[in-house]
Amino acid sequence: SWRFFFLSFRKIYTILKNSLLIIQTKSKKTLARPNVKNIVLVEGVRTPFLLSGTTYSDLMPHDLARAALQGLLHRTAIPKDVVDYIIYGTVIQEVKTSNVAREAALGAGFSDKIPSHTVTMACISSNQAMTSAVGLIAAGQCDAVVAGGVEFMSDVPIRHSRKMRKTMLSLNKAKTLGQRLSLLGSIRLAHLSPELPAVAEFSTSETMGHSADRLAAAFGVSRVEQDEFALRSHSLAKKAQDAGLLQDVISFKVPGRDIVSQDNGIRPSSMEQMAKLKPAFIKPHGTVTAANSSFLTDGASAVLIMSEEKALAMGYKPKAYLRDFVYVSQDPKDQLLLGPTYGTPKVLERAGLTMSDIDVFEFHEAFAGQIMANLKAMDSDWFAQTYMGRKSKVGTPPMDKFNLWGGSLSLGHPFGATGCRLVTTVAHRLQKEGGQYGLVAACAAGGQVSDTHVQHSLVVPAMIAFCTYAKHLYEL
Amino acid sequence: SLSLSLSLSLSLFFYSAYMSERERLYCFCVCVCVCVCVQVNTLSVQMQAELTEVMGEVWSNGAVKSAVFISTKPGCFIAGADINMIQACKSSEEVTSLSREGQKMFEKIEKSPIPIVAAINGSCLGGGLEFAIACQYRVATKSRKTILGTPEVMLGLLPGAGGTQRLPKMVGLPGAFDMMLTGRNIRADKAKKMGLVHQLVDPLGPGLKPAEERTIEYLEEVAVGVAKGIANKKVSLTKEKGFMQKLQDTVMGLGPVRKQIYKTVSDKVQKQTKGLYPAPVKIIESIQAGVEQGGEAGYVAEATNFGKLAMTSESRALIGLYQGQVICKKNHYGTPEKEVKKLAILGAGLMGAGIAQVSVDKGLTTILKDTAVDGISRGEQQVYKGLNDKVKKKALTSFARDTILSNLSAQLDYSSFKSADMVIEAVFEDINIKHKVLKEVEAVIPPHCIFASNTSALPIKDIAAASKRPEKVIGMHYFSPVDKMQLLEIITTDKTSKDTTASAVSVGLKQGKIIIVVGDGPGFYTTRCLAPMLAEAVRVLQEGVGPKRLDALTTSFGFPVGAATLADEVGIDVAAHVAEDLGKAFGSRFGGGNVDVLKTMVEKGFKGRKSGKGCYIYGKGKKDKSVNPDAEEILKKYKLAAHPAISTDSDIQYRLVSRFVNEAVLCLQENILRNPVEGDIGAVFGLGFPPCLGGPFRFVDSFGAERLVGIMKRFEDIYGNQFTPCQLLLDHAKNPSKKFHK
């Protein structure tokens, strides 16, 4: 019996030791991988996000991007010629500045020797800009890259009809007056109807809002659930704004207007008020309304990404490591907005983490219904087994770690610029809340993970989707 | 299963089991809403009775303020009345009373004290549609499977449960005529525009349940919402009419305008049916009675006409075709060992490209091989155009078109044939060329790969003679234009394996074809029936009957295309080829007209529509054609004296038809055909045999074999063995109780 007692004692001791080890590992585990460079987020800023058609309405997209770049220069005081490369993301392109990265960089006073390019990947365009930057640094091409995103919905390219364009192009080539007159004579009333920019997914001709409504219905998300989530987003954003937590926002002197220093789309309302709205896309029985969708927004963002080595050598105190990222794609018809569900478990597995390891979640809120549908999908064993080839459900992020400073529903969603906002917010929240790992996910985009000082941050954008809302575009 | 499912819905109906399942949804309703679930998809006498009982209980329960009618069977609301129920009737009075019963039941639904919402997902046809339009409100899913329509006319019937009375009120007179006279299927979005349904529900993708299941549930939720809304007056049943609607109503309110419409529609019907189809006329009559003399007269007219139509030979013929079609859309040869996923087609001509067109959009990876760049370019364009026309009609998105086309590979060599599961050759009709390609193909394909020949007349066993593996050789005879013609004639030889047949049938079904499987022999079944008729047509032309009159004689007999036009469509060169080949095989029985007429025409370049000239000269427009004077010259050169004893219009018609019919019966006698059903289907869907006669075999049954033999004997006296009735036909003539169809 002594022997037995001894064994038991050893057993208890081992258990205790192991649990201690677990605690120790958790606080010390690094996601650094051998032979992979540590890449860090040095700083992230953004212009205030404004409802389109408000104070920014007379600008051009590169003006906004310029403002973000200048803000970044100001915050970091980085010498302009240290930056090796500049990448910007945008969705609806202004044709005059199709490489908006280059125009904005030149306008912001960066050296004309710095190459810049523009990427587009719907709502995760600036995620793509950031991950491209990570790629350039990891490949040893660059040490310091500025990535950002811009979207300007106050003005979008509205084209002549194809028929009219064809006539006009032929007019250029017409040699005689007779030819010109006959071409002009061929113009009919139908030629004059303009072509609005893509209001629908090209592959399915379905608008994003319509798709979100169907998605919400497929997962049985009620109107009340959506309104509640939207209200939560606005309330949390308001709180964060009032508490001065949105430190990534820079002030911007708009030419001919006042200085803008706050987002203007945060409107905490009441459930009663929200319940009064009619569905915006599927009538009369739909559940997605103007109040539980993100609104058309003007805004730009920028981040400075460096190799850890270089950042430390220059005396910077990096905000986060960018550790890993995953892009995933699904069926654009029925699973358009389910990217986070697919992307999140993948990036966690890559990093060797589980949902409970994550301290800060920032998910892009395209529609309240879309977020709720993703949460339900993540909570469903059936969905995980049937569509994801998993044994069991992904699990849902705890709401007390989720989008605590508002989200795209309330802060606004300039398509090309949102990704940088999410990553910067994760870094700031980790700092503020004292967490270690953060994860970002975006539909039309996937997830990303960030983390403060010492540890990790992963970038995980997923699915591509075109975030244009028919209703709002017409309202332009 | 019919009664079982209904009693199920009955027991489910009252709150007990049913409500507990759905309690969560409806318990908190201010007004109680009941869902009636149907699991049957056809309306039968029994269902009518049970429905009346169920509705009686709904109405007698004061707590129920509204109801939703929904089918729990996926992809089907109610696909119409049970045809057997009508066929079982012995007299028109019996059918009329069935119709009256249906009318009464639906009238009760229409006058229901509580609102009834029809929630439609899938087919809502015939009696199903009549039921739906009797309800106060209709919600439908926007699914591709959701179709509404009144296809009764295609069965030689009319909508006999109030359809002819309610539809004009709902969609207007012109819309109602269009629906009932064409019998076409209407997709949900169109139905909404027409005012046939009130509200649409989008099909959902996967969520926490399979997409289809959740979509039906969602439809139910929306319909319940609407039903409650109507009950508490939040949803209005009357729709504010637009200006155009008001204008149309005003115009339609004028007696003379309506009169003009009836006249125009009647004239059009007469022109198109040549008076051979009674149903459209009766439909117009019934609608007119209702609109002009009021509801009761309309209902009586509808029921009486329904009764009359059900007893017509035309209706029996059309119903027979419908039932035959159902049989010929099944694979009776089992599941093939290996599913065909990759299909290679040799020859990118009209046929080859046509086969590619109907394959590539069904998910088959398709190779289109030709020997010349021009050939594949033309072929690819044909496939593209076929798909793009669907895009223009909004039946397909441009994105879907591109995705589909990504499955097509046009090429000049045999690369990647090594992974083909089936090769269909559509090369020139020459046995030597067929042998050459067969050998080339067998050198590159895997052992399991099937070789199918799309020949129209060469015996398959002759082609298979060059094969190392004759069990894998089969005939797949498509009809031109492949995307329009529904028939596929599959030809098996003694050596063709059952699995090869199963595979060919499976591919054909995938391509959307109606399939007949026939034995091997010169001309198989279809070409063999057509050849004597065309030979007779040439003789008739030689006897001085012009192409136009010949066409008129054949179309007025019920053929959709006249004999002269048909020859042009088939191709004079093909006709000459076939006439010669089959002439050699069958001897003088296949004689009649002089083959040299056709040969001379081919020499002069009059190959039919494809060359712009044949019996007719073809202009750019589809209907733009005039008689080719040069062809008439040729006919004069070969002129024959007509025999006055057998040259009346009716004689000419029977000369053409009797040769066709006799050859068909002979095919059955010689076991080329397995059964009369396939014979009828093949003749109607492949060759345009008058649908109102139901095919050669049904024609013999209804016309009388004895009478036919009598007529043929008259012709035989003058022309000899071309009109000698075959033994089987004689057997039927001798014994009137013998019928091909029961």
Q: Is A198 on the interface with B (CB under 8 A)?
A: no
- B205 contacts in chain A (CB < 8 Å): 214-215, 218, 331, 333-335
Q: Is A210 on the interface with B (CB under 8 A)?
A: yes
Structural Rg of chain B based on CA atoms: 28
What distance in Å separates residue B79's CA from the closest CA in chain A? 27
- Compute the distance between CA of residue A419 and CA of residue A120 in angstroms, rounded to an integer: 12
What distance in Å separates residue A202's CA from the closest CA in chain B? 8
Residue B51 has pLDDT above 90, yes or no: no
Interface touch A218/B202, C-beta < 8 Å:
no
pLDDT, average across residues B149-171:
93
- B222 contacts in chain A (CB < 8 Å): 285
Residue B12 has pLDDT above 70, yes or no: no
Interface test with B, best of A205, A214, A372, A394 (most B CBs within 10 A): A214
What distance in Å separates residue B221's CA from the closest CA in chain A? 10
Q: Is A382 on the interface with B (CB under 8 A)?
A: yes
Interface touch A334/B209, C-beta < 8 Å:
no
Q: Is B24 on the interface with A (CB under 8 A)?
A: no
Name the closest residue on chain B to residue A333, using Cα atoms: B205
The three-class DSSP label of residue B387 is helix
What pLDDT sits at residue A302? Answer: 98
- Compute the distance between CA of residue B682 and CA of residue B503 in angstroms, rounded to an integer: 20
| Cα→Cα distances A121→A52, A341, A466, Å | 21, 19, 8
What distance in Å separates residue A435's CA from the closest CA in chain B? 33
Matching residue, tokens 């013609």: B485
Q: Is A472 on the interface with B (CB under 8 A)?
A: no
For B77, list phi and psi in degrees, rounded to 5.
-85, -85
Name the closest residue on chain A to residue B214, using Cα atoms: A218
The three-class DSSP label of residue B171 is helix
Interface touch A217/B199, C-beta < 8 Å:
no
The three-class DSSP label of residue B533 is helix
What distance in Å separates residue B119's CA from the closest CA in chain A? 14
- Compute the distance between CA of residue A203 and CA of residue A330 in angstroms, rounded to an integer: 13
Q: Which of B199, B202, B208 sits opposite A380 (nearest CB)?
A: B208
Q: Which of A389-403, B236-250, B665-679, B688-702 has the lowest mean pLDDT?
A: B236-250
Q: What is the mean pLDDT of chain B?
A: 89
A356 by Cβ neighbours in 10 Å (0-12 / 13-18 / 19+) ranks as exposed
Interface touch B206/A386, C-beta < 8 Å:
yes
**How many inter-chain contacts (A to B, CB under 8 Å) are there?**
60
Cβ partners under 8 Å of residue B726, min gap 6: B662, B665, B666, B669
Q: Give the tens place of pLDDT for each residue, B167-178.
A: 999 998 999 999
Q: What is the share, in percent, of chain A residues with pLDDT greater than 70?
A: 86
pLDDT, average across residues B140-144:
93
| Cα→Cα distances A320→A39, A308, A309, A448, Å | 9, 10, 14, 12
Q: Which of B202, B209, B210 sits opposite A214 (nearest CB)?
A: B202
pLDDT, average across residues A16-35:
54
Whether residue B536 contacts residue B589, with contact meaning beta carbons closer than 8 Å, is answered with no
Entry field: residues in chain A: 476
Q: Is A474 on the interface with B (CB under 8 A)?
A: no
Q: Is B587 on the interface with A (CB under 8 A)?
A: no
Q: Give the tens place of pLDDT for each residue, A403-450.
A: 999 999 999 999 999 999 999 999 899 888 888 888 988 875 333 333
- Compute the distance between CA of residue B22 and CA of residue B17 in angstroms, rounded to an integer: 9
Interface touch B201/A285, C-beta < 8 Å:
yes
Q: Is A200 on the interface with B (CB under 8 A)?
A: no
Which sign does the torsion angle of CA B712, B715, B719, B720 carry?
positive
* Of B590, B556, B592, B580, nearest in space to B662 by CA: B590
The three-class DSSP label of residue B688 is coil
Which sign does the torsion angle of CA A61, A64, A68, A71 carry?
positive
Q: Is A376 on the interface with B (CB under 8 A)?
A: yes
β-strand A438-441 against A360-363: which pairing, if any? parallel
Q: Which CATH class is domain B526-734?
A: mainly alpha
**A142 has catalytic annotation:** no
What distance in Å separates residue A291's CA from the closest CA in chain B? 22
Q: Give the tens place of pLDDT for each residue, A91-133.
A: 999 999 999 999 999 999 999 999 999 999 888 899 999 999 9
Interface touch A333/B205, C-beta < 8 Å:
yes
- Compute the distance between CA of residue A381 and CA of residue A393 in angstroms, rounded to an integer: 4
Whether residue A366 contacts residue A208, with contact meaning beta carbons closer than 8 Å, is answered with yes
What pLDDT sits at residue B241? Answer: 74
CATH for B342-521 is 3.40.50.720
Q: Give the tens place of pLDDT for each residue, B713-741.
A: 999 999 999 999 999 999 999 999 999 99
Q: Which of B205, B222, B225 sits opposite A214 (nearest CB)?
A: B205
Reading the block at residue A331, the tokens are: 């069926």
Assess if residue A179 is contained within a domain. Answer: yes
Q: Is B206 on the interface with A (CB under 8 A)?
A: yes
Q: Which of A217, A284, A285 sits opposite B204 (nearest CB)?
A: A217
Reading the block at residue A456, the tokens are: 């990790």
The three-class DSSP label of residue A304 is strand
- Compute the distance between CA of residue A29 and CA of residue A31 in angstroms, rounded to an integer: 7
Q: For chain B, count helices (H), then strands (E).
A: 31, 19
What pLDDT sits at residue A221? Answer: 97
Alpha helix segments (H runs only) across B27-123: 45-60, 83-87, 92-110
Q: Which CATH number fits domain B29-311: 3.90.226.10, 3.40.50.1820, 3.10.20.30, 3.90.420.10?
A: 3.90.226.10
Interface touch B207/A204, C-beta < 8 Å:
no
Q: Give the tens place of pLDDT for each residue, B427-436.
A: 988 999 999 9
This prediction has a pTM of 0.86
- B224 contacts in chain A (CB < 8 Å): none
Reading the block at residue B322, the tokens are: 């419908």
- B404 contacts in chain A (CB < 8 Å): none
What pLDDT sits at residue B10? Answer: 26
Q: Which amino acid is at B451?
A: F
Q: Please, how many CA atoms are within 13 Å of residue B498, restricted to the half-sphere of its CB?
A: 5
DSSP string, B612-639: TBSSEEE-SSSS-EEE-HHHHHHHHHT-
Q: Which of B202, B208, B226 sits opposite A219 (nearest CB)?
A: B208
β-strand A297-307 against B487-492: which pairing, if any? unpaired
Reading the block at residue A46, the tokens are: 């953004």
Interface touch A285/B225, C-beta < 8 Å:
yes
- Compute the distance between CA of residue A270 and CA of residue A273 in angstroms, rounded to an integer: 5
pLDDT, average across residues B120-124:
92
Residue A57 has pLDDT above 90, yes or no: yes
In chain B, CATH 3.90.226.10 covers 29-311
Assess if residue A178 is contained within a domain. Answer: yes
Under DSSP, the state recorded for B736 is: T
The three-class DSSP label of residue A367 is strand
Name the closest residue on chain A to residue B213, using Cα atoms: A218
* Of A76, A152, A150, A60, nearest in space to A110 by CA: A76
Interface touch A334/B204, C-beta < 8 Å:
yes
Structural Rg of chain A based on CA atoms: 24
pLDDT, average across residues B157-185:
93
What pLDDT sits at residue A352? Answer: 84
In chain B, CATH 1.10.1040.50 covers 526-734
Q: Which of B207, B225, B397 sits opposite A218 (nearest CB)?
A: B207
β-strand A438-441 against B487-492: which pairing, if any? unpaired
Q: What is the share, in percent, of chain B residues with pLDDT greater than 70?
A: 94
Reading the block at residue B706, the tokens are: 């004895």
Assess if residue A340 is contained within a domain. Answer: no
Q: Which of B204, B210, B399 sits opposite A202 (nearest CB)?
A: B399
Residue B509 has pLDDT above 80, yes or no: yes
- A335 contacts in chain B (CB < 8 Å): 205-206
Q: Is the peptide bond before B113 cis (omega within 30 degrees of 0)?
A: no
Assess if residue A15 is contained within a domain. Answer: no
Residue B16 has pLDDT above 80, yes or no: no
Residue B5 has pLDDT above 80, yes or no: no
Q: Is B204 on the interface with A (CB under 8 A)?
A: yes
- HEC-encoded secondary structure of B535-604: HHHHHHHHCCCCHHHHHHHHHHHCCCCCHHHHHHHHCHHHHHHHHHHHHHHHHHHHCCCCHHHHHHHHHC
Reading the block at residue A81, the tokens are: 């010629």
- HEC-encoded secondary structure of B210-278: CHHHHHHHHHHHHHHHHHHHHHCCCCCCCCCCCHHHHHHHHHHCCHHHHHHHHHHHHHHHHHHHCCCCH
pLDDT, average across residues A461-475:
26
Catalytic residue selected from B220, B489, B536, B678:
B489
Catalytic residue selected from A123, A142, A420, A467:
A123
Reading the block at residue A349, the tokens are: 């597995």
Q: Which of B204, B225, B399 sits opposite A218 (nearest CB)?
A: B204
Q: Which of A54-63, B13-22, B205-214, B648-657 has the lowest mean pLDDT?
A: B13-22
DSSP string, A406-418: B-HHHH-B-TTTH
Q: Is the peptide bond before B470 cis (omega within 30 degrees of 0)?
A: no
Whether residue B369 contacts residue B426, with contact meaning beta carbons closer than 8 Å, is answered with no
Q: What is the mean pLDDT of chain A?
A: 85
- Compute the distance between CA of residue B315 and CA of residue B279 in angstroms, rounded to an integer: 8
In chain B, CATH 3.40.50.720 covers 342-521
DSSP string, A74-140: HHH---TTT--EEEEE-SS--GGGSSHHHHHHHHTT--TTS-EEEE-BTBTHHHHHHHHHHHHHHTT
Matching residue, tokens 């939720």: B221
Q: Is B214 on the interface with A (CB under 8 A)?
A: yes
Q: Is B218 on the interface with A (CB under 8 A)?
A: yes
**A123 has catalytic annotation:** yes
Provide the residue range defining the domain that includes A190. Answer: 159-195
| Cα→Cα distances B461→B473, B522, B728, Å | 8, 10, 26
pLDDT, average across residues B293-305:
94
- A203 contacts in chain B (CB < 8 Å): 397, 399
Interface touch A387/B225, C-beta < 8 Å:
no
- A202 contacts in chain B (CB < 8 Å): 399
Query: How many other CB atoms are found less than 10 A from the CB of residue A196?
Result: 16
Task: Place A26 in a pLDDT band, splitting at 50, 70 and 90.
Answer: very low
Interface touch A285/B199, C-beta < 8 Å:
yes
What angle is formed at CA B236 by the lines to CA B141 and CA A472, rounded to 5 degrees? Answer: 60
Domain count, chain A: 1
DSSP string, B127-153: HHHHHHHHSSEEEEE--TT-EEE-GGG
